[in-house]
Structure 1
């Protein structure tokens, strides 16, 4: 009996999803790009629109009662204007397409600048469009051709992946009589770095290894060449050798007795997991500020030693995605 009830429930749910695609779409994240077509747009009159509709109804009844043709013409003229404003608001949203969502990572406790990229499948100018996420909103316009980047300020409260969530796109132009809106639920997420410890102890003393360490610097002796990596200074690029090889090559330098800051998870045994993450985050940022190479040692993995924006991002990403 239970299996039969379960089959009937599943069949009813499948029928509902086929017959009510607009309602089920609001609950499920969608892959980008998301196109706004006529079945995704909803229209309701505003309070001003309802008041104007009531006034026009009274004007029409009074004109018919007193056989006043000019008043009747005026009522129909105002009604046609309201209908045209509804059509303009509908056309402002139809054909819009959300193509990308991204944000530069920030630390937990800071505000994230969420950037949404829109373009249009139909070329016409669009004005007075509002993008809403929770309590945050931003107005934007789009030219007849091209795209617009809309920025929303989103609070980043916790480390790890932050889901973009459901967005609302709406407009009340041109007369504010109707509100036309649609829901967007992109299948996208952005990364939030861990919150650094506010009053962390000093950075552990960098280790000094007897063997020469390969470091970048303008005054050291050239050690050799290697492929370019993101974050390398342009002054270290060997332009002549790069032209000969057909790819970017970077000069490496020797610095005897190099200094590496070792950031080891296991040395913080007296702290909880979140406290360890916050302290390692603070030490990593401090090592980058001092220009030191850092080596991050986590359970089951090791990153570095290295330095630069790419190394910092790799370490902060690993710290942010550690299980709670």
Structure 2
């Protein structure tokens, strides 16, 4: 094979992909943007024969010509019987999608490089079960799954890992070949779940060759020199402040709290990270946020364009991680293709 023919093939495939995307956008231009949920009406369901359907259509045409040529009534009967079965299959295939409701579910955030799981919920309200549905994004697809009558099913689409950032889901395709496989009905969806990919955590201490504790590049300011206070445990208190020795003696949970009620204030500083590039600094800060949360620390985050005041708890940790994921970037369309 000549080198020029090898380079021509990817270019041709790229042109065909662009033409296909333009055709899909032209066809679906009258569809409103779905947002968080969509209901499938007749105006957005498309149906065409599959390869097996076209083969059957050719066979039926040959059978019809043979029946006419030989004036054979039994051949006419068999031909029109098969045509009637195909017509009913068309109705059943189209009806398998009609009236379905599709909605987004919260997408669990992941760290850079980890596989993404996109859950979508399909609900049926017309009282008839749906069979052999397939959800696709790009070249990724779920296995065939059913939706029970007057019930719901969650379809989970597994996508390849992505770099740090905020993403939106590209166009989705829901299709079915039920019941005979000779026809395929499909619809295009533009659901927009929020997809957040955190930086990959990197220990700054390990980067410097230390233990990760004495050399952790974070500035700490104490709330005061007042002695710690002991109080009974309340739901939501960080496990790192539980006094386990007291629990072993008395069987009751108590926590240690600084006199100010906030403990030690810990500031995680952008400028304190020992890395020259942006992504490595974000990864180091991500590690620091996770470590501070695991220790039950009262910590804040300082970035060049944003400052998050000290806080505690899962919501504060998630706010800091989201700020790192969205640092100087805008939501972009996710690439579902597997990365080499």
How high is the TM-score relative to the length of structure 1?
0.76
Alignment correspondent of 2:69: 65
Alignment correspondent of 1:211: 224
* Corresponding position: 1:50 with 2:54: yes
Q: Residue 61 of structure 2: SS of its match in structure 1?
A: helix
Query: Structure 2, unaligned stretches of length 5 or more?
Result: 1-24, 242-253, 330-340
Q: 1:312 to 1:200 in 2, by over 3 A?
A: farther
Whether contact under 8 Å (1:49, 1:177) holds in the other structure is yes
Per-residue CA deviation, residues 38-70 of structure 1 (Å, 9 max, x unaligned), is 111111111111111111111122122222111
Query: Structure 1, unaligned stretches of length 5 or more?
Result: 1-19, 237-250
Alignment correspondent of 2:257: 254
Alignment correspondent of 1:106: 110
Deviation of residue 171 (structure 1)?
A: 0.6
Counterpart of 2:139 (choices 126, 135, 142) is 135
Alignment correspondent of 1:41: 45
Alignment correspondent of 1:302: 307
Whether contact under 8 Å (1:263, 1:295) holds in the other structure is yes
Deviation of residue 112 (structure 1)?
A: 1.4
Q: Find the aligned partners of 1:93 and 1:166 in 2 and give their Cα distance.
A: 17
Deviation of residue 277 (structure 1)?
A: 0.7
Q: 1:58 to 1:299 in 2, by over 3 A?
A: same
Q: 1:21 to 1:133 in 2, by over 3 A?
A: closer
Q: 1:297 to 1:47 in 2, by over 3 A?
A: same
Alignment correspondent of 1:184: 189
* Corresponding position: 1:275 with 2:288: no
Whether contact under 8 Å (1:32, 1:187) holds in the other structure is yes
Q: Residue 170 of structure 2: SS of its match in structure 1?
A: coil
Deviation of residue 29 (structure 1)?
A: 3.9
State how 1:137-176 maps to structure 2 within 5 Å. 137-138=141-142, 139-176=144-181
* Corresponding position: 1:319 with 2:328: no
Alignment correspondent of 1:74: 78
* Corresponding position: 1:94 with 2:107: no
Per-residue CA deviation, residues 205-263 of structure 1 (Å, 9 max, x unaligned), is 77462626899xxxx612999xx8xx5579x9xxxxxxxxxxxxxx9852479555431
Q: 1:308 to 1:200 in 2, by over 3 A?
A: farther
Q: Residue 123 of structure 1: SS of its match in structure 2?
A: coil
How high is the TM-score relative to the length of structure 2?
0.72
Per-residue CA deviation, residues 119-173 of structure 1 (Å, 9 max, x unaligned), is 1342211000100011211122111102111101122412222111100000111
Number of aligned residues: 281
Q: Find the aligned partners of 1:108 and 1:187 in 2 and give their Cα distance.
A: 20
Deviation of residue 82 (structure 1)?
A: 1.1
Counterpart of 2:230 (choices 218, 221, 228) is 221
Per-residue CA deviation, residues 6-51 of structure 1 (Å, 9 max, x unaligned), is xxxxxxxxxxxxxx9853147x743232111111111111111111
Per-residue CA deviation, residues 271-319 of structure 1 (Å, 9 max, x unaligned), is 2222211111122223334444433222354335344322211110111
Q: Find the aligned partners of 2:223 and 2:63 in 1 and give their Cα distance.
A: 95
